[in-house]
């Protein structure tokens, strides 16, 4: 599953923060040859994650993404 957010976050930093929180994800920018035109976002794979761990890990990821987007929302206010 991919979630894209054109230019709205540093997907590499979010992926690193997610990993620190125990969630493995991949930044979409890594899959583009032209990084200037790349979509920003995350690639998620959860096929090997036990069902009872999916929701808690998505909650962790949501917290990481919310934290990453928070400065942007504050700057727009």
Residue range 7-18, pLDDT digits in tens: 678 899 999 999
Contact 61, 25 (CB under 8 A): yes
Give residue-wise pLDDT tens across range 20-71.
999 999 998 888 888 777 788 899 888 899 999 999 999 999 999 999 888 6
H or E segment at 20?
helix 11-20
| pTM (whole model) above 0.85 | no
**Nearest CA among 9, 2, 15 for reference residue 73:** 9
Q: What pLDDT does residue 22 have?
A: 95
First to last CA, the chain: 31
Q: What pLDDT does residue 23 have?
A: 96
Q: Within 13 A of 22's CA, how many CA atoms are on the CB side?
A: 8
């Amino acid at each position: 599953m991919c979630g894209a957010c054109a230019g709205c976050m540093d997907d590499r930093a979010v992926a690193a923060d997610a990993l620190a929180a125990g969630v493995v994800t991949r930044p979409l920018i890594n899959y583009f040859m032209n990084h200037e035109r790349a979509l920003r976002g995350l690639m998620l794979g959860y096929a090997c994650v036990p069902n009872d761990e999916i929701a808690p890990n998505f909650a962790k990821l949501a917290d990481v993404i919310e934290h990453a987007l928070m400065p942007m929302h504050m700057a727009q206010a």
